[in-house]
Copies of this chain bind each other. A is one copy, B any other.
């Protein structure tokens, strides 16, 4: 059975790749939709290679012309812990629906049975497209829109990032290859919302984050 999954190069989708490959033939799809930097694209490729799964990088930077967010423009990235207000500017409108529907089209083209993404419980307060209601609705849209039994998998939808890392440590996910920071400098900044959340999740596992940070962590 084949599954197409969205691979961003971060902790969550890297863990998803290792989790899915226990049971599925995994096709990773990484989409460049005009994120600020290429470090996470490179991380995605490195993770896919390490996992030994098929992968494609799709250049959709042209979408950046249409969709407005601080991730795709030159607006500054908000610092500090995630909050609905501080991270609002990082919401690319309708992003996951766009990417998952493209993944679904790709899945049908290669005869895959499912699409998957790594939405998780920490994201759901901020990002509506990381909530179960969205997953359920999108599953309906895929079912009716394609007249197939294509499944939408979101196995981490009610799981915290700390629990994802707990699973990933068991699965020996090479977290040193992943990239989460919203800034694209040589080392992770350690201050943006995603760095803060990542560090906290490793700490909750009493584990060390193997990547390098600009600040003492």
- A residues contacting B by CB (< 8 A) are 56, 58-60, 62-63, 65-68, 92-98, 101-102, 104-106, 108-109, 128-129, 131, 133-134, 136-138, 140-147
Task: Given the known inter-chain contacts A56-B66, A62-B60, A109-B67, please indicate yes or no for A142 contacting B104, CB distance below 8 A.
Answer: no
B141 touches A66 (CB 8 A): no
B134 touches A102 (CB 8 A): no
Secondary structure class of chain A's binding surface, majority of residues: helix
Taking the nearest CB of chain B, how far is it from the CB of A134, in angstroms?
4
B128 touches A67 (CB 8 A): no
The residue among A59, A105, A129, A134 with the most chain B CB atoms within 10 A of its own CB is A105
Task: Given the known inter-chain contacts A128-B145, A137-B137, please indicate yes or no for A93 contacting B66, CB distance below 8 A.
Answer: no
Quick one: which of B60, B92, B97, B104 contacts A93, CB cutoff 8 A? B104
Q: Which 7 A-B pairs have the closest CB atoms?
A: A93-B108, A137-B140, A128-B147, A94-B105, A134-B144, A137-B141, A68-B109
5 pairs, A vs B, C-beta closer than 8 Å? A59-B62, A93-B108, A101-B101, A137-B137, A140-B140
- Return chain B residues, CB-CB under 8 Å to A97: 101, 104-105, 141-142, 145-146
Bound complex: CA of A126 vs CA of B134, how far in Å?
27
Bound complex: CA of A145 vs CA of B132, how far in Å?
10
Task: Given the known inter-chain contacts A98-B98, A109-B93, please indicate yes or no for A137 contacting B145, CB distance below 8 A.
Answer: yes
B144 touches A141 (CB 8 A): no
The residue among A68, A92, A93, A109 with the most chain B CB atoms within 10 A of its own CB is A93
Quick one: which of B60, B66, B133 contacts A144, CB cutoff 8 A? B133
A145 touches B106 (CB 8 A): no
Bound complex: CA of A47 vs CA of B14, how far in Å?
46
- Return chain B residues, CB-CB under 8 Å to A106: 66-67
Task: Given the known inter-chain contacts A93-B108, A140-B137, please indicate yes or no for A66 contacting B102, CB distance below 8 A.
Answer: yes
A63 touches B105 (CB 8 A): yes
Task: Given the known inter-chain contacts A58-B62, A128-B147, A144-B131, please indicate yes or no for A101 contacting B105, CB distance below 8 A.
Answer: no
